[in-house]
Structure 1
């Protein structure tokens, strides 16, 4: 049996977790957006409006890099396979210092790395726009990111969709557990053409879930009023998603709700958010995804039961909650011992 090991991309690969004596691999596909620029603003800027920021900072991050660091912080081993420009070569060492394997990272000379501009309000709300840079440079076909020792794959939508689909198909053929968060959101046509039957677990927030429902067949003017459980039930009922082993809908301050196939049948789990004092929500979703990926790596294959899944979701929710109490994205990701110390205070 393979030991847990993950790959994320651009691509991130998680090495064997020491919490399991068998060999398991988690592979997470993750993208680096080099040096997100964060500006503190009184409110998210409106069309045609010019406002002054009260604070400015640059930090390493991006959804893929954040998720890679989060998987490592959860106690699982992870490698990153992706692309940066020569202006982002320093990120290899930065990620390595945080427990992320970087042997599969590629540096493209003369090309700019991806960037993100993040607006953050005093209430902790944020808005983000992206410049893809090397995130949209295709990974070489003669250098496969998914290796035979990987057991899990974590994907999001910051790299070329063709690369995402190709890696997902390879993962399916190799029996790798795949997790996908379609963020930034795909177009309606891309959502309809996506090979959902190859995917294991889908993770979306409420807005992403509504977009999915509209694109895949359930067009309802009342979607905006649906609560988390209703949204989840609607996703589970979609024919295109009927083959998924798990669907998770994150609900922000309301926690998360999930539906998973288990040996005992389909199980629904609904959990509240952790009680925290929110400073900055940037990166909370990436923290949740990384911890969820790391937690699922502790379970061989997809042989999970409702107790294991509940514990995995609890850890992910607590980790995401802790991250919102600190500024920044990658810098706010809590370590495993911090999450474990807060689990006893988390009440369902």
Structure 2
């Protein structure tokens, strides 16, 4: 049997990192996010590959998976495609188009929180038809390309019995959410804010706790329940940042575990939080790589336990470093950290 293979249909950007005074690393490093009317001086500029598609493909590769990235860059940044290829990502279906390559301008404050401005660019350009590799077992999607392109590839993958994973970030419009083919998804990955907005957009009934809760986990549970009722064949993952991850599993032939969400605590950090920019994409990449290792097996919730513990640990290690793709740890590093904790 061929090794599992993942297709990532997504975005590629030039991430622009600025060096501010008194800072050791190249990024727009500030005490606080820049406010209207402020001007901040920088001392250097470095450009690196980015975009949620590229970041998740890179995380998959660092987690040991075979990955193909489908998307587009402009003639102004062919080097983005080349650098991604050098990391081990298959880029045969990355098109070079007339539009300028997408851009991301990232600001990060002292707490590691970030603010990002995106320019769509080549990510919204038309690309030639492409074939899905016959060995593809998983397909990953985000929302930094036209949603119509995502849906087209998603439906092709689903009809070929490929496991489909959607991380709708940034969240599509209300009208787009209402018409999205949710039942074609195997996995949905959202954060708590996206889960709430998605429930509102779909007009889902969310159970209200009689007692107000300050727990992120307790607040997320009714959101997962509502989303799972709307898409009963989809596994729903809700990331809660420093509060961990909550997952509503769907297991074929065993519905006893699908009624109660499973909670996974956040990883214990060995350093300070430096940058959260790439943590979500790191989590997604490691999660999907773990699912790929389970491909073809009769899976239980216990099997998923190792997958999510590793993905959460990888994301935790990611925030200890600066950058997006550059901060994603290698599989061996994550395994070593898990053994030491």
Q: TM-score, normalised by structure 2?
A: 0.88
1:315 aligns with 2:310: yes
Q: CA deviation at 1:234?
A: 2.5
SS of residue matched to 2:82: helix
For residue 32 of structure 1, the aligned residue among 12, 17, 22 is 12
Q: What residue in structure 2 maps to residue 13 of structure 1?
A: none
Aligned ranges 1:82-93 → 2 under 5 Å: 82-93=71-82
Q: Given that residues 196 and 244 in structure 1 are in contact (C-alpha distance below 8 angstroms), is that contact kept between their aligned partners in structure 2?
A: no
Q: Given that residues 120 and 144 in structure 2 are in contact (C-alpha distance below 8 angstroms), is that contact kept between their aligned partners in structure 1?
A: yes
For residue 159 of structure 1, the aligned residue among 139, 145, 163 is 145
Q: Structure 2 stretches of 5 or more lacking a match?
A: 18-26
Q: CA deviation at 1:64?
A: 0.9
Aligned ranges 1:96-135 → 2 under 5 Å: 96-108=85-97, 110-135=98-123
Q: CA deviation at 1:159?
A: 0.7
The number of residue pairs the alignment matches comes to 322
After superposition, the CA RMSD in angstroms is: 2.3
1:171 aligns with 2:160: no
Q: CA deviation at 1:237?
A: 2.7
Rg larger in 1 or in 2?
Answer: 2
Cα separation, 1, equivalents of 2:297 and 2:145:
26
Query: Structure 1 residues 315 and 239, CA, compared in 2 at 3 Å: closer, same or farther?
Result: closer
Q: What residue in structure 2 maps to residue 150 of structure 1?
A: 136
Q: Given that residues 216 and 240 in structure 1 are in contact (C-alpha distance below 8 angstroms), is that contact kept between their aligned partners in structure 2?
A: no
1:74 aligns with 2:63: yes
Q: What residue in structure 1 maps to residue 3 of structure 2?
A: 3
Q: CA deviation at 1:152?
A: 0.3
Q: CA deviation at 1:235?
A: 2.8
Cα separation, 1, equivalents of 2:75 and 2:133:
26
Q: Given that residues 224 and 248 in structure 2 are in contact (C-alpha distance below 8 angstroms), is that contact kept between their aligned partners in structure 1?
A: no
Q: Structure 1 stretches of 5 or more lacking a match?
A: 10-29
Q: Given that residues 213 and 235 in structure 1 are in contact (C-alpha distance below 8 angstroms), is that contact kept between their aligned partners in structure 2?
A: no
For residue 264 of structure 1, the aligned residue among 242, 246, 254 is 254
Q: CA deviation at 1:225?
A: 5.9
Cα separation, 1, equivalents of 2:180 and 2:87:
33
Cα separation, 2, equivalents of 1:295 and 1:76:
9
Q: What residue in structure 2 maps to residue 43 of structure 1?
A: 32
